[in-house]
Amino acid sequence: MPRPARKTAAPKPRTAASRRRPARIPKVGFVSLGCPKALVDSERILTQLRAEGYEVAPTYEAADVVVVNTCGFIDAAVDESLDAIGEALDRNGRVIVTGCLGARPERILERHPRVLKVTGPHAYEEVLGAVHQHLPPQHDPHLDLVPPQGVRLTPRHYAYLKISEGCNNRCSFCIIPAMRGRLASRPIGEVLREAERLAHAGVRELLVISQDTSAYGADLRYARDRWREREYETRFIDLAQALAELKVWVRLHYVYPYPHVDAVMALMAEGGVLPYLDIPFQHGSPSVLKRMRRPAHAEDTLARIATWRRDCPQLTLRSTFIVGFPGETEEEFEELLDWLDEAQLDRVGCFKYSPVEGASANALAHHVPPEVQEERYARFMERAAAISAERLSLRIGRRERVLIDEVNGDEAIARSAAEAPQIDGVVRIAGAAGLRAGEFTEVEIVAADAYDLAGRRVS
């Protein structure tokens, strides 16, 4: 599920500034909002633009035209997207809009009638067409070479690997299937070739994303495809097994607790993919899950978690939850807290339910008043923080392999297998001399709070 957040920053082009260039290089500014899936869309558009000879402008003022990739998941994200379009119009004036909010052009045009073009999510061709129309390319194939791994908005050492678009589920609080359409998986060979290119380009960690990773390939009837002289089916477990061949960190996001997910535990236990699962459980009460129309809502998730931990004791589980869903009673909320106590998840995020225009949950009876939502949110977070602090404290004294994300003066910010970038905590390492972003190192965990850990380097 998307986490609305400003991801952006138009990266400086990697081409050397000293290269000889034709007279005028067309420059595109780019603002990328929303979830990692939207970020991958942005990377694809930027990669194509770079291949066509455009440069990416680092500021609004330096750009000839600005593309804003919007998020429309919840109302706060819609507001943020509309504000970002307004800012781009004020500071540049020539703006093309794409992304999830673009599926509802009337919302955009009502407030910003001056935008040049509005396109929907993953409408790459349309975005490129709009850029060509308003800022024709000046292609020079000898100068405008794009690195084979494409243009990425993430640091050089990790990358998102989008395996499918759309979703076949119909969660009642979500409009993503209406905006992004039904599940459309990429054939496994294509995904693996992209993963291989990324690994060759220096990526140390691949973050597998989609709307429903466990459903991967169902729309293609698990079609067979070849990679490295072997045949694989386009399905979740085959993908995990093949990615393990690349010998980089592989992290699985947006997985649902279906029985077929059990099969990946052996691979995690032997180190083929990271022992980490990001599962958006959303609630612990069966009746609320049913009203949410969540995938796998009838599964006994606590039993499933116990089995996973038996098969892979080092497993880290992260999840997100919604409190104050329409009709949620105090008893159902208590059920959620009890579920949380038993599940003992390592990392947990929480949202207060907020209606999204077009979602069927809006029609449900008994919306929870904001003050009750607030109170439940605070109770939930207190419980989750206590569990997280306890689980993190169990790591004190352990030796862990970490990947350095950045070095700031004498401190390095790193992550172990148990922390995904941007959404989980970090491992702080004092005494960073000689460490560099993108390197692995060994630390002993010496302290922890509810979110972050401190590590001491061990040689």
User: Which residues form the interface with ligand SF4 (CB under 6 A)?
Assistant: 1, 167, 169-171, 174, 176-177, 211-212, 295
Residue (85 or 322) nearer to ligand SF4, CB = 322
Tokens at 158, concatenated: 């990790």
Residue 5: CB minimum distance to ligand SF4, A:
17
Is residue 195 within 8 A of residue 218, CB to CB? The reply is no
Residue (2 or 272) nearer to ligand SF4, CB = 2
Residue (118 or 356) nearer to ligand SF4, CB = 356
Phi–psi pair at 340, nearest 5 degrees: -60, -40
Nearest to 54, CA basis, from 127, 4, 159: 127
Residue 426: CB minimum distance to ligand SF4, A:
27
Tokens at 455, concatenated: 């590590």
Taking the C-alpha atoms of residue 241 and residue 207, their distance in angstroms, rounded to an integer, is 15
Residue (129 or 177) nearer to ligand SF4, CB = 177
The contacts of residue 337 (CB under 8 Å, 6+ apart) are: 284, 379, 380, 383
Taking the C-alpha atoms of residue 187 and residue 62, their distance in angstroms, rounded to an integer, is 39
Residue 226: CB minimum distance to ligand SF4, A:
30
Residue (167 or 242) nearer to ligand SF4, CB = 167
Residue 401: CB minimum distance to ligand SF4, A:
32
Residue 131: CB minimum distance to ligand SF4, A:
28
Residue (182 or 398) nearer to ligand SF4, CB = 182
Cross-strand pairs, 28: 56, 65
Residue (75 or 140) nearer to ligand SF4, CB = 75
Taking the C-alpha atoms of residue 268 and residue 276, their distance in angstroms, rounded to an integer, is 8
Residue (344 or 360) nearer to ligand SF4, CB = 360
Residue 171: CB minimum distance to ligand SF4, A:
3
Three-class secondary structure of residue 447 per DSSP: strand
Residue 432: CB minimum distance to ligand SF4, A:
38
Taking the C-alpha atoms of residue 116 and residue 153, their distance in angstroms, rounded to an integer, is 24
Residue 3: CB minimum distance to ligand SF4, A:
12
Strands (E), 178-301: 184-185, 205-209, 224-227, 230-233, 249-252, 276-278
Please state, in angstroms and as integers, the Cα–Cα distance from residue 217 to each residue in 10, 174, 185, 212, following that order.
33, 22, 6, 10
Report strand pairing: 453-457 vs 427-430.
parallel
The contacts of residue 372 (CB under 8 Å, 6+ apart) are: 324
Phi–psi pair at 293, nearest 5 degrees: 55, 45
CA geometry: angle at 382 spanning 425 and 71, to 5°?
Answer: 55
Residue 75: CB minimum distance to ligand SF4, A:
16
Residue (172 or 393) nearer to ligand SF4, CB = 172
